[in-house]
Amino acid sequence: MVLLQSVNPDIMEENIPLLTNDAVVFGLLMAILAVIFATSASDRPFWKKFYGIVPTVLLCYFIPALANSFGLISGESSSLYQVASRYLLPASLVLFTISIDIKGILKLGPKALTMFLAGTVGIMLGGPLALLTVGTFFPDLLGGSGPDEVWRALSTIAGSWIGGGANQTAMLEVFGPSPELFSQMIAVDVLVANLWMAFLLYWAAKPEKIDKFFKADSTKIYELRDKIEEFRKGIMKIPTLSDTMIILGVGFGVTGFSHLIADYVAPFISDNYPNLKQYSLDSAFFWIVVIATTAGLLLSFTKVRKLEGAGASRMGSVLLYVLVATIGMQMDLGAVLDNPLLFVVGIVWMIFHIIIMLIVAFIIKAPFFYVAVGSQANVGGAASAPIVAAAFDASLAPVGVLLAVLGYAAGTYGAYLCGLMMQAISGG
């Protein structure tokens, strides 16, 4: 495991956490998540204003991080992250990807898909371009060795901005940045992504000016709205115990299958093709994630896809947020502001993403709705893409969901390639 590095026994004795039993720590994490989501769903004005400013996912990261920083718990000595990343992560990827409705996405029209893909390409190319640009003025940024190489940590942002938390964790495991560097990346990820989301929400209230500039026709969006609402009503159902057990059976069954195959493939590559180690192809975890994602995609073409109506992606989100909390346990908040240059990289990265999307939108005359949702489906994922879509019209929220789920499928592959490009630029 990347994050559970060896430490001096004397240091560990000096920093023994208050809670050392993983069962107790897990209970605490679940209680924290319960409080966060209970308050975020509250109708009280205070909580509405609070969560209008502070993203839910940010608290899921940083409250466990605070507990770790103040010595209440210790992510370094706990095995919860190991369990969550190996079991819950691949299961959540499966449950997110089986809900992909290829036919439904195609009905969105080529412009919607084009803008989503433009957003993905913008993230994939924006990262290396930002690293190259900022590194030109600040060469030390490209320095470091081993887990402290900046490109390793930046790959986790690529995972987050193309897919989501699950893909981010996949890159964390595959490329192995240090816990301190990853902590800084979480701050960069959340800050930059939310600034961009705020901009999108502002312009969502008055898209006519941008549509006029792009010479775009948005009338088909409302036709799409009616079709999506009809589709959604057709698959939604009250889940039974059988439905829930089937969902869990599919998620963890595929996870077990992924482990089985990875246990053979990773050692085979390590023994016979050692040169592929630089691409992390000897990593069992890499194959677990890839196999789980691919299996989920294949299942989306079967009747298993209908499990979405019983809450497959909702269950995937539950697993994902548990994972997010265990990641928070690893963070040292004191290291967040140690390298402000990383925020510059994040902002420049987002600028390149925006430029690429706007160029494509201008060429194909895409409505701003497709630009906003396509971008947020990448950068924000399923948690925030529906919010941006609903800012245009509440019934259009499912469009954000459909595209965001597609991002979960593309996130692992796109972020991996982005990471390799940044590695090449850094000379790693």
pLDDT bracket for residue 343 (50, 70, 90): confident
User: Residue 9: what pLDDT?
Assistant: 43
Residue 421's pLDDT is: 93
Within-domain flag for 6 = no
Percent of the chain at pLDDT > 70 equals 86
* 4: in domain: no
Domain count along the chain: 1
Question: Token pair 């079709």 is at which residue?
Answer: 227
Report yes or no: 273 and 200 within 8 Å, Cβ to Cβ: no
Specify if 5 maps to a domain.
Answer: no
Residue 40 inside a domain? The answer is yes
- For the stretch 169-201, pLDDT in tens is 888 888 888 888 888 888 788 778 878 887 887
- 297: amino acid identity, one letter: L
Q: Are 57 and 165 in contact (CB under 8 A)?
A: yes
Tokens 């995609």 found at: 297
The pLDDT tens digits for 105-144 are 666 678 888 999 999 999 999 999 999 999 888 887 776 6
CATH of the domain at 30: 1.20.1530
Residue 85 covered by a domain: yes
Identify the domain containing residue 412 by its residue range: 14-426
Assigned domain for 3 exists: no
Q: What is the dihedral of CA 47, 48, 50, 55, to 10 degrees?
A: 110
Q: Would you state the pLDDT for residue 37?
A: 93
In a domain, 117, yes or no: yes
Residue 120 domain flag: yes
Tokens at residue 125, please? 């190319």
pLDDT in tens, 257-303: 999 999 999 899 888 887 776 566 777 888 888 888 889 888 988 88
DSSP string of 96-153, one letter each residue:
HHTT--HHHHHTT-HHHHHHHHHHHHHHHHHHHHHHHHHHHH-GGGG---GGG-HHHH
